[in-house]
């Protein structure tokens, strides 16, 4: 019995990560399939190539029509959709932009004060090969 303990322990050490990895992969595949099946017209999506688009037609089972610009509709495989993007909240963006503009102007003022105190120094050019 003692001779079988070490081989069984080694098999468990190898088998447990394989089983856990397989479960995780199946769960991710199920989530991706659920996402692709839940796409409807007007959804904002990002493709696997990183392109943002709006779903124009999702009636076909294997393909989906994406509007990538005003009036420009292309047909893609459903598997090319990586994720659904949340719609942009205009009010939140304007608030964030105004606070970001204020912080940037304060940072620029501080940078200009630092520049006036110390000027950039340029090193003289190196002349290689001349003696």
pLDDT digits (tens, 9 = 90+) for 48-94: 999 999 999 988 888 999 999 999 999 999 999 999 988 665 555 55
pLDDT exceeds cutoff 70 at 96 = no
Instruction: At 33, list the tokens.
Output: 């399939």
User: Which pTM was predicted?
Assistant: 0.53
Exposure string for 67-100, b = 16+ CB within 10 A, e = fewer? beeeeeeeebebeebbebeeeeeeeeeeeeeeee
Per-residue confidence (pLDDT) for residue 5, from 0 to 100: 85
Count of domains forming the chain: 1
Q: State which H helix or E strand residue 99 sits in.
A: helix 90-117
Helix (H, G, I), strand (E, B) or coil at 123: coil
Per-residue confidence (pLDDT) for residue 52, from 0 to 100: 93
Q: State which H helix or E strand residue 24 sits in.
A: helix 2-37
Position 80 in a domain:
yes
Position 44 in a domain:
yes
Position 28 in a domain:
yes
Q: Which domain holds residue 52?
A: 10-85
Please give the Cα distance from 43 to 86 (Å, whole number): 8
| CATH number where 33 lies | 2.30.30
Position 116 in a domain:
no
Position 79 in a domain:
yes
Mean pLDDT, rounded, for 89-118: 55
**Residue 3 or residue 130, greater confidence:** 3
Position 72 in a domain:
yes
As a whole number of angstroms, the longest Cα–Cα distance in the chain is: 82
Position 95 in a domain:
no
pLDDT exceeds cutoff 60 at 40 = yes
Position 16 in a domain:
yes
């Amino acid at each position: 019995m003692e001779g079988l303990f070490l081989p069984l322990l080694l098999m468990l050490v190898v088998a447990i990560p394989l089983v856990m990895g397989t479960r995780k992969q199946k769960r991710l595949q199920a989530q991706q399939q659920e996402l692709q099946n839940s796409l409807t017209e007007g959804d904002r999506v990002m493709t696997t190539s990183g392109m943002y688009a709006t779903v124009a037609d999702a009636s076909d089972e294997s393909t989906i029509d994406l509007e990538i610009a005003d009036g420009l509709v292309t047909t893609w495989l459903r598997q090319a959709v990586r994720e659904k993007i949340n719609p942009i909240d205009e009010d939140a963006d304007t608030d964030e932009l105004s606070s970001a503009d204020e912080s940037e102007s304060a940072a620029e003022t501080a940078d200009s004060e630092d520049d006036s105190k110390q000027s950039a120094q340029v090193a003289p050019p190196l002349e290689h090969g001349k003696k």
